[in-house]
Amino acid sequence: MNPLRPLEGRHVLITRGGDQGNKFCLDVASRGGIPHIVPLIDFRAHIDSNADYFIHNISQYDWIVFTSKNGVHYFFEQINNRIDRNDLLNVQYAVVGEKTREALNGYQISSKFMPNVYTAEEFANEFFEHDFSPKKVLIPKGNLASTTVADSFRKRSIIADEWIVYETFYPENERNRLVQLLREDILDVVAFTSPSTFHHFMQIVHEYQLSEHSQKLMYASIGTVTKRAIEKESYNVKICPRNFTLDDLFQEICHYFLKLQKERKEKI
């Protein structure tokens, strides 16, 4: 047993692409694992019918709340050269998690609030424990994001406008590779980063009648919402880190298999 290589020989399905997925892939390989990247989610800009209103009235908002790093990037893509920088500096900013805050910092803007637990539910709980008194907030988000944050403001008679700046879709070109991996039964664990990635996974499982294969997998997820989505389909989530980041998910996967190695050694 090598504690530096707890994933030795383990096949890990990574369902997130881009820089984050590539880093996860390298991390898995560095601990002896065999990564398989099959992105089950992708993003593209969405043109909201109310976009012009939001842009022209940006200075009227007390707060702008970002629930994801994608929300940050697509927001700035849409307002590029259309808003006076000073209008943005007069607004206060809140983010749901660390990665979202890092994305915002990349645009030289600091956030004033971030919850201790990176979920929309916890944001709604913690934000109002502070002495904030907004009258109007803007929430740039994806088309599949929940209304939890917006609803928490509206319940307190605060105007909360939701601006759909990007949309989520399933990259069809990955379909055949996922089907092949499932049929071969070589995967040990599959890591999901959102309910959307899992739902797209299940679309393939049902379409190609792969339930027998999917039931053999170990499931890991980021966040309680993703965990609930998986469990709703009667799958057991073995790994779900306290902090909802890919780095923490990777560490938890390593910890799980290291613990498994130790237990097996003790039984010998």
In a domain, 226, yes or no: yes
Instruction: Give buried/exposed letters for 10-34 (b at 16+ CB in 10 A, else e).
Output: bbbbbbbbeebbeebbebbeebbbb
Q: How many domains does the chain have?
A: 2
In a domain, 67, yes or no: yes
In a domain, 3, yes or no: no
63 shares its domain with 128: yes
The alpha carbon of residue 117 and the mean position of all alpha carbons in its chain are separated, in whole angstroms, by 14
Q: Name 137's bridge partners.
A: 63, 160
DSSP the chain: --TT-TTTT-EEEE---HHHHHHHHHHHHHTT-EEEE----EEEE---TTHHHHHHTGGG-SEEEESSHHHHHHHHHHHTTTS-HHHHHTSEEEESSHHHHHHHHTTT---SB--SS-SHHHHHHHHTTSS---SEEEEEEETT--SHHHHHHHTTT-EEEEEEEEEEE--GGGHHHHHHHHHHT--SEEEESSHHHHHHHHHHHHHTT-HHHHTTSEEEESSHHHHHHHHHTT--EEE--SS-SHHHHHHHHHHHHHHHHHHHHHH-
51 shares its domain with 28: no
135 shares its domain with 25: no
Domain C-terminal end among 168, 197, 214:
168
Write out the residue range of the structural domain in which residue 153 sits: 44-168
Tokens for 141?
């988000």
Domain C-terminal end among 168, 188, 222:
168
pLDDT tens per residue across all 268 residues of the chain: 577 899 999 999 999 888 888 999 999 999 999 999 999 988 999 999 999 999 999 999 999 999 999 999 999 999 988 888 788 888 999 999 888 999 999 999 999 999 987 778 888 889 999 989 999 999 999 998 889 999 999 999 999 999 999 998 888 888 999 999 999 999 999 999 989 899 999 999 999 999 999 999 999 999 888 999 999 999 999 999 988 888 999 999 999 999 887 777 766 6
164 shares its domain with 227: no
| pLDDT value of position 268 | 61
In a domain, 5, yes or no: no
Length of the chain: 268
From CA 198, how far away is CA 235, in angstroms rounded? 11
This prediction has a pTM of 0.78
In a domain, 15, yes or no: yes
51 shares its domain with 35: no
In a domain, 6, yes or no: no
Domain C-terminal end among 168, 203, 232:
168
Check if the beta carbon of residue 130 is closer than 8 Å to that of residue 154.
no
163 shares its domain with 175: no
| pLDDT value of position 127 | 93
99 shares its domain with 140: yes
From CA 247, how far away is CA 126, in angstroms rounded? 24
248 shares its domain with 193: yes
In a domain, 213, yes or no: yes
164 shares its domain with 179: no
130 shares its domain with 216: no
| pLDDT value of position 250 | 95
| pLDDT value of position 19 | 84
177 shares its domain with 210: yes
In a domain, 1, yes or no: no
CATH number where 29 lies = 3.40.50.10090
In sign, the C-alpha dihedral spanning 146, 148, 150, 154 is: positive
| pLDDT value of position 147 | 93
158 shares its domain with 238: no
Instruction: Give buried/exposed letters for 182-196 (b at 16+ CB in 10 A, else e).
Output: beeeebbbbbbbbbb
